[in-house]
């Protein structure tokens, strides 16, 4: 590639700017009001360089892109045996808001679907930590990864809690099966606060670069998570980060990734780079339409496919 990186990123955005396919998420009122045209892209290398284009500094709620990072925090707080005893790592092949429990064990199939992420959130900050400590834990950890103090969007949080019937139903079922022991409303409140943390595409790229660097923060050179936690997190992303399109995604783009309903996308090429994209219009799976296309193009042009 001969074009300098910033010009190249802008070129990728320009090529897709006119694509208005998909729809902004409707089921959370605050997200339905999002500007559908926002479009930002950032790359952060394991050497600590960040390149950005478009609306890469526009804040949006992290939503499901929080799930891999909360999973990493839970693995650190509670160890592999406890976390893997509560949540599996198999693709569910179902939508993100299905219950998708394993037969027999009743474990949610993976930490990337809502049932798995609600369960993971209850494990944060040690046994018996209340909702406030769990939320503080994710906020502090996400801020450490992004290398800036992040905040929670209280309006998104209130908006989503007002329409959280489906997640409440999942939490009640999880409690009924003994997968969580937290009160269902408290479980959903903590998980929803986790989803309401405000980030930018640049933040996602930097957060992803820590996973790419096997847990070492490229800005400081400090280890912020054990290498095996980064590896486990990336494995879960590869298996299930793109929900019921995880297989198509992996064959087309070939890197572990995670999407969210506010239009954020995280991609991680191990050993090399974290990618953050923001574009709110979603496809039928709940993945950002232009986010997917940006990643397909980057993968092709930069030869990112792991296979
Ligand atoms: O639980 C929910 O419905 C949202 N807080 C997050 C879901 C999400 O981002 C799914 N991703 N496509």
The atom number, within ligand 1, closest to the CA of 285 reads 12
- Considering the domain architecture, whether residues 245 and 297 belong to the same structural domain is answered as yes
- Considering the domain architecture, whether residues 164 and 230 belong to the same structural domain is answered as no
* Rounded distance between C-alpha atoms, residue 203 and residue 148, angstroms: 9
* Rounded distance between C-alpha atoms, residue 168 and residue 172, angstroms: 6
pLDDT digits (tens, 9 = 90+) for 99-110: 999 998 999 999
Q: Is 71 annotated as a binding residue?
A: no
Q: Is 287 annotated as a binding residue?
A: no
Q: Is 176 annotated as a binding residue?
A: no
Sheet containing 273-278, strands listed edge to edge, beginning at the edge strand earlier in sequence: 50-54, 40-45, 273-278, 264-269, 257-259
* Rounded distance between C-alpha atoms, residue 221 and residue 124, angstroms: 25
pLDDT band at 1 (very low <50, low <70, confident <90, very high): low
Does 135 have pLDDT greater than 60?
yes
Q: Which of 163, 195, 227 is the last residue of a domain?
A: 195
Report how far ligand 1's centroid is from the alpha carbon of 6 (Å).
31
Q: How large is the average pLDDT for residues 37-57?
A: 97
- Residue 246 maps to a domain: yes
Handedness of CA 132, 135, 136, 137 (dihedral sign): positive
Note the pLDDT of residue 245.
86
Note the pLDDT of residue 272.
96
- Considering the domain architecture, whether residues 211 and 180 belong to the same structural domain is answered as no
Give the chain's domain count: 2
pLDDT band at 24 (very low <50, low <70, confident <90, very high): very high
Known catalytic residues are 64, 67, 191, 243, 261
- Residue 290 maps to a domain: yes
- Residue 88 maps to a domain: yes
- Residue 244 maps to a domain: yes
- 8 Å CB contact between 236 and 112: yes
- Extended strands (E) in 40-158: 40-45, 50-54, 60-61
- Residue 170 maps to a domain: yes
Residue 166: give its domain's CATH number: 3.40.710.10
- Considering the domain architecture, whether residues 123 and 158 belong to the same structural domain is answered as yes
Report how far ligand 1's centroid is from the alpha carbon of 272 (Å).
28
Instruction: Work out the number of other CB atoms within 10 angstroms of the CB of residue 133.
Output: 13
- Residue 68 maps to a domain: yes
Q: Which of 141, 175, 195 is the last residue of a domain?
A: 195
How many degrees, rounded to 5, is the angle at CA 277 between CA 240 and CA 64? 40
- Considering the domain architecture, whether residues 119 and 70 belong to the same structural domain is answered as yes
- Residue 280 maps to a domain: yes
* Rounded distance between C-alpha atoms, residue 199 and residue 206, angstroms: 11
- Considering the domain architecture, whether residues 292 and 204 belong to the same structural domain is answered as yes
Q: Residue 52: give the domain boundaries.
A: 5-58+199-302
Intra-chain end-to-end CA distance of the chain, in Å = 20
- Residue 307 maps to a domain: no
Q: Any residues with Cβ below 6 Å from ligand 1, and which?
A: 63-64, 96-97, 114, 160, 167, 192, 195, 259-261, 286
- Considering the domain architecture, whether residues 173 and 114 belong to the same structural domain is answered as yes
Q: Is 191 annotated as a binding residue?
A: yes
- Considering the domain architecture, whether residues 81 and 149 belong to the same structural domain is answered as yes
Note the pLDDT of residue 45.
97
Place of tokens 């037969």: 103
Does 306 have pLDDT greater than 90?
yes
Note the pLDDT of residue 244.
81
- Considering the domain architecture, whether residues 85 and 143 belong to the same structural domain is answered as yes
Report how far ligand 1's centroid is from the alpha carbon of 163 (Å).
12
- Considering the domain architecture, whether residues 261 and 142 belong to the same structural domain is answered as no
Q: Which of 160, 195, 230 is the last residue of a domain?
A: 195
Mutation to probe ligand 1, out of 29, 60, 61, 63 (largest number of atoms < 8 A from CB): 63
Report how far ligand 1's centroid is from the alpha carbon of 114 (Å).
7
Of 91, 68, 112, which Cα lies nearest the Cα of 231? 68
Q: Distances from the Cα of 257 to the Cαs of 59, 99, 124, 253, 277, in angstroms?
A: 20, 21, 22, 9, 11
- Considering the domain architecture, whether residues 108 and 230 belong to the same structural domain is answered as no
pLDDT digits (tens, 9 = 90+) for 150-159: 999 999 999 9
- Considering the domain architecture, whether residues 94 and 128 belong to the same structural domain is answered as yes
Q: How large is the average pLDDT for residues 90-96?
A: 93
């Amino acid at each position: 590639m001969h074009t300098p990186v910033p010009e190249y990123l802008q070129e990728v955005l320009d090529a897709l700017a006119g694509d208005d396919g998909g729809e902004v998420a409707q089921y959370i009122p605050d997200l339905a009001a999002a500007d559908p045209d926002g479009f930002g892209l950032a790359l952060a290398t394991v050497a600590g360089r960040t390149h950005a284009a478009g609306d890469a500094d526009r804040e949006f709620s992290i939503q499901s892109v929080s799930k891999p990072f909360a999973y990493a925090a839970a693995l650190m707080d509670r160890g592999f045996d406890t976390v893997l005893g509560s949540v599996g790592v198999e693709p569910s092949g179902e939508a993100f808001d299905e219950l998708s429990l394993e037969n027999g064990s009743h474990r949610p199939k993976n930490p990337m679907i809502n049932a798995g992420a609600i369960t993971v959130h209850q494990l944060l900050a040690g046994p018996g930590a209340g909702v406030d400590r769990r939320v503080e834990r994710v906020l502090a950890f996400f801020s450490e990864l992004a290398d800036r103090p992040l905040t929670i969007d209280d309006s998104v949080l209130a908006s989503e809690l007002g329409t959280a019937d489906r997640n409440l139903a999942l939490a009640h079922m999880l409690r009924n099966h003994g997968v969580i022991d937290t009160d269902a409303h408290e479980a959903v409140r903590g998980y929803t606060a986790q989803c309401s943390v405000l980030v930018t595409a640049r933040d996602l790229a930097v957060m992803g670069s820590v996973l790419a660097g096997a847990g070492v923060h490229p800005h400081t050179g400090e280890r912020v998570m054990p290498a095996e936690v980064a590896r486990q997190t990336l494995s879960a992303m590869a298996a299930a980060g793109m929900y019921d399109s995880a297989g198509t995604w992996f064959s087309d783009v070939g890197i572990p990734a995670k999407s969210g309903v506010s239009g954020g996308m995280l991609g991680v090429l191990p050993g090399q780079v974290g990618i953050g994209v923001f574009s709110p219009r979603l496809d039928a799976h709940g993945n950002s339409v232009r986010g997917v296309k940006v990643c397909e193009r980057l993968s092709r042009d930069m030869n990112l496919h792991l296979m």
